[in-house]
A and B are shown apart, each in its own frame.
Chain A
Amino acid sequence: MRDTPETAALPPAFAAWFRARGWMPNAHQLALLAHYGDALLIAPTGSGKTLAGFLPSLVDLAATPRTGLHTLYVSPLKALANDIGRNLSQPVTDLGLNLRIEDRTGDTGASTRARQRVDPPHILLTTPESLALMLSYPEAPGLFSGLQRVVIDEIHALAESRRGDQLMLGLARLRALSPGVRALGLSATVDDPQALAGLMGPAGRPVPVLHAAPGPPPDIAMLETDAPPPWAGAGGRYAVRDVLRAVAQARCTLIFINTRAQAELFFQALWAENADNLPIGLHHGSLSRAARAKVEAAMVAGELRAVVATGSLDLGIDWGAVDLVIQVGAPKNVKRLVQRIGRSNHAGTAPSRARIVPANRFEVIECAAALQAVAESDLDGDPRPSAPLDVLCQHILLLACAGPFDADRLFSELRQAGPYARLSRAAFDACMDFCATGGYALRAYDRWQQLMRRDGLWQLRDPRRARDIRMNVGTIVEPSMLKVRSRNAHLGEVEEAFAATLAPGDTFLIGGQTVRYDRLREAVVQVTPQPSRAPLIAVFSGLKMAMSTQLAGRVHAILGDPARWSVLPAHTADWLEMQRRVSALPEPGTLLAETFARGGRWYLALYGFAGRNANQTLGLLVSRRMEAAGLGPLGFVATDYALLIWSLDPVSDPAALIDRAGLEEGFDEWLGNNAVMKRTFRAVATVAGLIRPNLPGARKSGKQATFSSDILYDTLRRFDPDHLLLRITRAEADRGLVDFGRIGAMLDTLPRLHHVRAPHVTPLAAPLLLEAGRVPVTGSGQQRLIEEEAARLMAEAGLDAPPRDQA
């Protein structure tokens, strides 16, 4: 499709407005205007898709002015809602439309929110969580009964997480309250538009998909660097000077890095080399809101030449000035790479420019594979989880806050939500039972049910509960964060688990500066800046993404086939050639296993390309089996590509260690006590409303207001192993952090095992030996560490440990 001059489709006032600005409406903007009903618009970033989304509403409201809520706009980011509000005010003022446009997010004051419930604006801009809250008030039917349109921005991003499930449940509710409402999804380019169209369609029936013209192909390549990338590592700091050179040549650069800690280190390294004092900022989710807002404002004002950012800037405000995107470290996922590339040149006419910086030799291959995938527009789509029941439980409780409901009618309404189109009655009943009684085999709470049935309708037993339920709305459970303060300045936040590992005197990086940990007081990490010191620790991890299955397949295909090495730099091709001579290449359909001895240890390397999480789980399972076989495993390290395990005795038959039945057996046993499972349970229990982290004043006293979710998990496992929340937890763990499902897929796609007994460390295995993040294998784990540490402390304090019980 090309831009057409058919402004005839526009009402005269709108056509004049476009002409006055020297603009021509895009074909997809006009198509949406003509289109009647639900639709999904797929358009590259910067193609005016947000205006396209609002144009039908503005035209309609101009033609027939009315009162009441007309259009609801939902976006994943609060900032985006604010920004859209500003952008819309221009055409609304120019066209003399008598419209109220307001936002309603977590930042909106209580009195404004209360007023909006009875006297709504014409256009309301909000987030999925705020929509869920609005639907939980008794006023919801009146508020939404005249709703005409719902615009869901960045629906591709929402669909990747449980926020999308919650939003689709909300959409089903809106359709029930206002049967004529039309939903419009706005999406960046995705691998499977039909799946997205099905997600937002009534009862999962795909809505019509409209495609905007794709922009010109991007100008994307690996960044030329003076030195080749190191063998291992993830920081990309070897390329700091090359990156600075590229920044100096561009007008404005966005530098994406995968984790917060890496962003901090890279930012520091950039400034250490920044002889020209180019203004460069830092932006990531651990920084205080004020610090982030400052960087965003400087960016908008054109005061910055570059910003080092994490996923915190994947979505968001249009920054027209950005003309170069640099991705440091392998992108792990082609779709995300394409979206990041789109952040440059939001004007949409010039090709986007992007450069990738592989952080190590393996990543060179991954970057080459990702470039091929971008060129072929072959986007990866790892299957999204369907119909999480904890999200459903939260939805049921929120609806109960709005008023009494009939279970049968609710069940049919829920099945109108795309993700829940195939929800079974049994699953729904289990969720209802959980919400009402806790769903325990021991029927302990029949007197104190949370939901009660009166006159055939379900309602809250204690209406005061509504406040707690509303306070804990949301489907993404962040790790518990602690504020970091230096005297009175708020520097940012770190994960509680990270803070727990600090001892006074330890130094770490935050906001680009080194600070010394002094003490933890009233849930605040108190620090002192240490400008001249190098940090000891920079590990407040953030998420580590696993490489997508599709990208892993491409990497494997390049590695195993010398004919494809022409896409690789010479240093990388030479490395692979050496591997071919010394050992073997991981050929397609083959799981390469290498064993070799080094420094008194035996090593087993498995090249399964299953992604970091699955490889880590495989490491835990295989090392357990080695322990049982008496091979004395000592530790392992997992990357996206491979697993390396070291032991006292050699593995003679790797195939026996990874047979599926044996792994599955070990998995069930291991699963129960695993910290990853407990973390997953905590998230599930929080979303389902069993644990409520947000209670008034809960954080105030040092005394934990409540007990840890680990204990709830333990007692449930012991006394009620089939409980709904444990079933949800197991289903979640199969994907996500444990990713056992992907181990199975690896065994399916790599049916042959090729075992090489190498004379020494092989070229492919050498980088693995340098990899950080080793996992020690300890028979009795944490307890042994505690006892050793305690014995050391007693000895250093000159105290003898008291004798063990000999009474």
Chain B
Amino acid sequence: MNDTRHCRLAFHGATLLARADGALHWPEQDALIVADLHLGKPERLARRGGALIPPYGDAETLARLSRALAETGAARVIVLGDGFDDTKARLAAQDTDRLVHMLARHEWLWIAGNHDPVLPAPGGGAPMAVLRDLALGPLFLRHVAMAGAGPDVSGHFHPAVRLAGARRPAFMIGAQHLILPAFGAYTGGLDGADPVLAALVPQGRAVLTGPQAVVVPWPLPTKRKRGQAAL
């Protein structure tokens, strides 16, 4: 595997790959880590009387996840919370089939998110087990980054960064916290400069997702400072 679309990171002794598609690959642990899939979101909006948005977000998210698993060959999938948009989430039949198929082929670890403290049972049967958090190697894996309890890898905020006129979901990497972008297709984003995120990652790097992962210093230098730097 020698894919130049992704970006290699060293984080507290772990060698990680921030993938262009928004997943984090940890080869040493044979794990693919994703955050905030929000499966079932279109159905939840409809159930609550909201707009009937195109019911294809789950199909898109699962197809992307499946591609990432095929490309990395990872045996484990770790979902950092909000895998499902709510505990009553119902997927369309073909999406459920696809998910059940993926569940059977990989080892899945689900961390509880604020949207899914309890997991639904796709395809019937018992609800899936859910973890509060997880210590793996030198790192903690949890839904929301905890100040003073790092180093941790987390999701929840759906960070996004704007560069050259385009806004892209992005990994935020600080001294203690590595925050993943949302992997789900139908998810909004919180600007990386938002005070909540800035408090967790005041300084470090951001990796923008897209056709190709792109790393930038964080926070982004202002134009004026850039001009001075060029002198």
Chain A positions within 8 Å of B, measured between CB atoms, are 437-438, 440, 442, 444-445, 447-448, 450, 461-462, 464-465, 468, 500-501, 503-506, 689-692, 702-708, 711-712, 715-716, 718-720, 723, 780, 782-783, 785-787, 789-790, 793-794, 796-797, 799, 801-807
Contact = CB atoms under 8 A, between A and B. Distances in A.
Contacts of B8: 802-807
B52 A707 contact: no
Contact of A445 (B6, B52, B185, B214): B52
Contacts of B214: 786-787, 790
Interface in B217-231: 217, 220-224, 226, 229-230
B220 A500 contact: no
A167 B30 CA distance: 62
A712 B221 CA distance: 33
A541 to B, nearest CB: 14
Nearest to B19: A805
List the 7 shortest-distance A-B pairs measured between CB atoms, nearest first. A704-B188, A438-B52, A444-B55, A503-B223, A462-B49, A448-B46, A804-B4
17 contacts: A438-B53, A444-B92, A450-B52, A465-B49, A504-B222, A691-B51, A703-B194, A711-B186, A715-B59, A716-B56, A718-B56, A787-B212, A790-B214, A794-B216, A802-B8, A802-B215, A807-B17
B92 A706 contact: no
B121 interface: no
A491 to B, nearest CB: 22
Contact of B166 (A442, A464, A718, A786): A786
B59 A719 contact: yes
B173 to A, nearest CB: 10
Contacts of B27: 807
A805 B2 contact: yes
Given A793-B217, A805-B7, A702 B54 contact: no
A703 B216 contact: no
Contacts of B221: 793, 796-797
B158 A703 contact: yes
Contacts of B7: 802, 804-805
Contacts, number: 164
A797 B210 CA distance: 23
B43 interface: yes
A266 B6 CA distance: 49
The listed residue with most B CB atoms (<10 A of its CB), out of A782, A786, A806, is A786
B54 A719 contact: yes
B164 interface: yes
Nearest to A794: B217
A448 B215 contact: no
A645 B59 CA distance: 41
A437 B229 CA distance: 56
Contacts of B165: 500-501, 782, 785
Given A703-B188, A704-B190, A796-B229, 16 more contacts: A438-B55, A440-B55, A462-B49, A464-B49, A503-B222, A505-B222, A703-B194, A705-B188, A712-B53, A718-B60, A782-B166, A786-B164, A787-B214, A793-B221, A793-B226, A805-B3
B84 to A, nearest CB: 16
Contacts of B217: 793-794, 797, 799
Contacts of A501: 165
B162 interface: yes
Contacts of B223: 503-506
Contacts of B163: 786, 789-790
Interface in B191-226: 191, 194, 205, 208, 210-212, 214-217, 220-224, 226
Contacts of B59: 715, 719
Contacts of B216: 790, 793-794
A357 B186 CA distance: 50
B22 interface: no
Given A442-B55, A786-B166, A796 B49 contact: no
Interface of B: 1-9, 15, 17, 27, 42-43, 46-47, 49-57, 59-60, 92, 157-158, 162-168, 185-191, 194, 205, 208, 210-212, 214-217, 220-224, 226, 229-230
The listed residue with most B CB atoms (<10 A of its CB), out of A706, A716, A789, A807, is A807
Contacts of A447: 47
A477 to B, nearest CB: 15
Nearest to B44: A448
Contacts of A805: 1-8, 17
A716 B92 CA distance: 16
B51 A689 contact: yes
A707 B54 contact: no
Nearest to B157: A703
B212 A445 contact: no
Nearest to A505: B224
Nearest to A786: B164
Contact of B215 (A444, A689, A720, A801): A801
Contacts of B50: 468
A805 B158 CA distance: 24
A267 to B, nearest CB: 27
The listed residue with most A CB atoms (<10 A of its CB), out of B17, B53, B220, is B53
Given A711-B185, A715-B57, A719-B59, A790 B215 contact: yes
A789 B158 contact: no
A794 B215 contact: yes
Nearest to A690: B51
Contacts of A780: 211
A675 to B, nearest CB: 11
Contacts of A691: 51
Contacts of A803: 8
Contacts of A716: 54, 56
A715 B54 contact: yes
A702 B9 contact: no
A722 B227 CA distance: 50
A790 B220 CA distance: 10
Contacts of B43: 444-445, 448
Contacts of A804: 3-4, 6-8
Nearest to A503: B223
Contacts of B55: 438, 440, 442, 444-445
A445 B46 contact: yes
B134 to A, nearest CB: 22
Contact of A720 (B54, B157, B167, B224): B54
A807 B194 contact: no
A465 to B, nearest CB: 5
B30 to A, nearest CB: 12
A782 B212 CA distance: 11
A586 to B, nearest CB: 36
Nearest to A519: B193
A796 B220 contact: no
A793 B214 CA distance: 11
Given A501-B165, A705-B188, A799-B217, A442 B56 contact: yes
A547 B53 CA distance: 37
Nearest to A712: B54
A462 B46 CA distance: 11
Nearest to B49: A462
A706 B185 CA distance: 11
A705 B53 CA distance: 14
